[in-house]
A and B are shown apart, each in its own frame.
Chain A
Amino acid sequence: MSTAASSSTSETIAEPGLKIKVSTKEGEVFELDEKVAKMSQVIRGILEDLGEQNGGDDSVLPLTQVETRIFRKILVWLKYHAGHDKEEAPKAEEDEIIARFCEEIPEWDQKFLNVDQAVILEIMLAADYLDIKKLRGLCCKTVANILKTKTVEQIREMYGIENDFTPEEEEEIRKQTAWCEDEPPRQGSNH
């Protein structure tokens, strides 16, 4: 069934079963187990659409916007979770599953995402592109936790976001939201 990789830059993963080949932005080809590849809903959808005819052919699915260094990272995650996760429950409950999964980020995933902020965003972007909901949810939660602890200015600086408000606009929003920040709750005096 499996075919030898034709590209010189390819990287094979020696596992039995159907292999799916994908290429990254740089053109590097990865060969994935079907199970691993199908954790991406986009790849799964494409494969299903192609039907049974995909066995044994050497075409490569281009993931043109995923850089190799990010894809390697995602691959680590996919392989870990392909091996460790229980069977996916029906789709209807997907949101719930993700919510539960992310509620307390497992230790392994915490370590996995213990990387540079920029990298998390890139992983998130790639996970969104590949439609890997769990991974995306994981990244979202992680980023949210970080946002929580930062001031607006810190966030802008951290992520290189330009402040595109006019001073007046910003002041307006500041007024609307002022009560919930920059003002430590006063100590309660009951009498």
Chain B
Amino acid sequence: MDYFNSNKYEREWKLYEDFLASAAVKLSSSGGQSRRTDLKLVDCVSYRVRFGHGLPPRSFIRVGPSILYTDKVRAQDRAAPEGETCSVPSGFDLLPNEVLCKIFGWLDTIDQLPLRRVCKRWEDVLRSRPCLETISICPQTLVAPPVPEECLVFALDKMVDKDRSRVLGLYGPRNQPVYINCLHSSSREEDVLDSIADEIMNYALGKQSAAEQANVYSVFTKGPLIRQFTVRCLHHSLFSDIRRIELTYGSVSFQNLSELPSTVNEILLRQMDLTGLASLTDYGEYGFAIDIERAAIVAWTEDERLVVLWRLAEQEVKPLTPKQLLRLANRIQLCQNFVLSDVLRGVDEIVLRREDELVTRKGPTKWDLATIKPLTAVDVNAFVRFRLDALGILGRH
């Protein structure tokens, strides 16, 4: 298996050296008297190496750059008793793996997968392609694979706009977003599969640039419920760095949240249906949650890991009513050990937004977050009440 420690490798090196020697002789005997006679074929090779082409004997024998490919070598390679068969060299046989990779790089995974069946070499190359910067997960109804682990589901950020889609964005290493596409949630498997088929179609139609596609490992899979798959994906070593997750649309439950990898320390919820959280107030080891219909603040703590989730309704969702704000304030008391300032900043945001609509009212318009820290839960309640009072929008129900 270990080619580079094998006899084959040594034998190929020998051939390689012989070949270089003979080529150099040929070159200097045909090159005339010019100063360039010292320019040996080796130089060409070294340039290639310098440019990062790399030249292990394997490439030399099997798929090496044409400069090294002689009939002699080819014949000997063919005569070699073991190792991969290399029949009549076709155009592709001559191409270095690197070039083959570049060809495949222009294909997205949907197109790449069947090509694995062409021959062993293609299979090798396709398997080894670096990939997996993007995955897709369907939260409730999604699929888990009878496929290899590297075949994770992918998604495109472009799909964010698709009304049936939900998007879960993950922020991976180097702060690059990793998008997880959450498909249509339905209890019927056929619906899910249809959705997946649609997504595949959309992807195949190529919404992304080819350059991006080259980095996207895109596999849709069928199988059991996605939740396990989700977790498996997220615990994949590739995502060991994930620290921030964004959820948009759809719903979430604490079960989902509890399955997130422990590296995640920030979760943003946007326009989520949080009824899964709403019915619960004390989530035990997961902490506590607050929700106000579609807009929500969630806070919980687990061991040293403190997570504060808050994302108040964004544009598309209507602003909170004062009553909702009050409920929010009341619920805040349920939270323990949450980052008060973060929550309050969220509250403040709403209040400030309301203020925009109520410019004529008089009252405090800025809340200095620095003063928040010593507040207790009760203080928070009072604070919110105070702010609302100041705006004159409370107590008129």
Contact = CB atoms under 8 A, between A and B. Distances in A.
Do the two chains belong together in a single complex? Answer: yes
A128 B44 CA distance: 12
Contacts of B209: 99, 103
B41 to A, nearest CB: 7
Nearest to B113: A177
B238 interface: no
B119 A45 contact: no
A121 B95 contact: yes
Contacts of A161: 90, 92-93, 118-119, 122
B35 A188 contact: no
A131 B23 contact: no
Interface in A154-185: 155-156, 159-165, 170, 173-177, 179-181, 185
Contacts of A181: 113-114
B102 A140 contact: yes
B370 interface: no
A144 B103 contact: yes
Interface string A126-157: 10110100001100110111011001100110
- Please report whether the interface of chain B is mostly helix, strand, loop or mixed according to DSSP: helix
Contact of B107 (A58, A103, A118, A144): A144
Given A121-B95, A152-B115, A176 B147 contact: yes
Given A42-B48, A141-B210, A180 B39 contact: no
A186 B197 contact: yes
Interface stretch (B187-195, B224-232, B339-347): B187-195
A125 B118 contact: no
A46 B115 CA distance: 37
A107 to B, nearest CB: 18
Size range of the chain A interface in the assembly: 35 or more
B69 interface: yes
Interface stretch (A10-18, A59-67, A71-79): A59-67
B208 to A, nearest CB: 11
Given A124-B99, A179-B222, A188-B197, A148 B35 contact: no
B250 to A, nearest CB: 17
B91 A122 contact: yes
A152 B117 contact: yes
A124 B74 CA distance: 20
Given A64-B67, A152-B115, A189-B190, A59 B105 contact: no
B115 A54 contact: no
Contacts of A118: 91
B220 interface: yes
Interface string A33-55: 00000000110011001100110
Contact of B39 (A46, A126, A144, A174): A46
Interface residues of B, number: 73
Given A59-B31, A180-B200, A186-B193, A125 B94 contact: yes
A102 interface: yes
Given A164-B119, A164-B120, A177-B116, A128 B65 contact: yes
Contact of A163 (B48, B99, B119): B119
A174 B114 CA distance: 8
Contacts of B93: 161
B84 interface: yes
Contacts of B200: 180, 185
Given A140-B102, A140-B105, A162-B119, A131 B94 contact: no
Contacts of A176: 113, 116, 147-148, 151
A125 B103 CA distance: 12
Interface string B1-31: 0000000000000000000000100010011
Contacts of B194: 185-190
A87 B105 CA distance: 26
B92 A152 contact: no
A117 interface: yes
Contacts of B92: 121, 159, 161
Contact of A128 (B99, B201, B220): B99
Nearest to A96: B211
A185 B47 CA distance: 48
Interface of A: 41-42, 45-46, 49-50, 53-54, 57-62, 64-66, 96, 99, 102-103, 117-118, 121-122, 124-126, 128-129, 131, 136-137, 140-141, 143-145, 147-148, 151-152, 155-156, 159-165, 170, 173-177, 179-181, 185-190
12 contacts: A42-B47, A46-B44, A57-B34, A126-B66, A128-B95, A128-B98, A165-B119, A176-B116, A179-B221, A179-B222, A189-B190, A190-B191
Interface of B: 23, 27, 30-32, 34-37, 39, 41, 43-44, 47-48, 50-51, 53, 65-67, 69, 84-85, 87-88, 90-96, 98-99, 102-107, 110-111, 113-120, 122-123, 146-148, 151, 190-191, 193-195, 197-198, 200-201, 209-211, 219-222
Given A65-B66, A131-B47, A144-B105, 11 more contacts: A45-B50, A45-B51, A46-B47, A49-B43, A103-B211, A128-B99, A129-B66, A129-B67, A180-B114, A186-B197, A188-B198
